[in-house]
Structure 1
Amino acid sequence: MTVQVSLSASAAKQINTIIAAQSDASLLRIGVVGGGCSGFSYTFDLDKEIAADDLVIERDGAKVVIDEASLPFLEGSEIDYVDELIGAAFRITNPNATAACGCGTSFSV
């Protein structure tokens, strides 16, 4: 199964900045877990290990990995980093989400 998930230049730049400040991490791991106010939540963790069934996305030297169980929920998504007046955060634009909460980290399908 080929899953398409993209990483924006802004997200890649921020990941590289975060990883440069870490001594024990080399990539960003994104996952989907049950919970949150809309049914599912995104998880963001720093990691140094890539599992055999992980999808690896690379852009401008930044690496993001997504576990196999989370892939169907993220098909067609774009991982971005936004810096707005109300705060800066990674944002996932997910075409599979039918609803999302105001914080942007919880969604339903």
Structure 2
Amino acid sequence: MSTQTVTLSEAAAKRIAQIVASEADKSALRVSVEGGGCSGFSYKFDLDKGPQSDDIVISRNGATVLIDPMSLIYMAGSEIDFVDNLLGQSFQINNPNAVASCGCGTSFSV
């Protein structure tokens, strides 16, 4: 397993903290990688109550992100960011392992 970790941008941490604050029974954002999508793999974002025993926990400015060990293999070295522009608001993963991605921004291949 890679020793590189996933980082969280300040914008992403701020947005995650805002979202979780409005959800009484949720405390973290879970980011996972699933097979499928236009480029082979896709990112999935879910609110979660808390970490599983084998989750990687990333915290910044009161925000918590959970990543399972299998997803971390594909995300090592990535940065989770939150973008607010003319196209809308979304979480984006800046993944150095991805060799291709598609226009939706949630699908990639390695």
Under a length normalisation based on structure 2, what TM-score does the superposition of the two structures give?
A: 0.96
Q: Could you list the runs of 5+ residues in structure 1 that have no partner in the other structure?
A: none
Task: Kindly state the Cα deviation for residue 49 of structure 1 after the two structures are TM-superposed.
Answer: 2.4
Q: 10-19 or 46-55, which moves further after superposition?
A: 46-55
Give me the whole-angstrom Cα distance separating, in 2, the residues matched to 1:88 and 1:103: 13
Under a length normalisation based on structure 1, what TM-score does the superposition of the two structures give?
A: 0.97
Give me the CA root mean square deviation: 0.8
User: Helix, strand or coil for the counterpart of 1:17?
Assistant: helix
User: Helix, strand or coil for the counterpart of 1:70?
Assistant: helix
Mapping of 1:11-26 within 5 angstroms?
A: 11-26=12-27
- Please tell me the residue identity of whatever aligns with 1:51: Q
Tell me what 1:79 maps to: 80
Identical columns (%)? 61
Task: Kindly state the Cα deviation for residue 24 of structure 1 after the two structures are TM-superposed.
Answer: 1.2
Contact 1:82/1:89 (CA < 8 Å) preserved in 2? Answer: yes
- Confirm or deny that 1:37 pairs with 2:38: yes
Tell me what 2:96 maps to: 95
Q: Could you list the runs of 5+ residues in structure 2 that have no partner in the other structure?
A: none
Contact 1:3/1:71 (CA < 8 Å) preserved in 2? Answer: no
Give me the whole-angstrom Cα distance separating, in 1, the residues matched to 2:27 and 2:53: 16
Task: Kindly state the Cα deviation for residue 52 of structure 1 after the two structures are TM-superposed.
Answer: 1.2
Tell me what 1:108 maps to: 109
Tell me what 1:9 maps to: 10
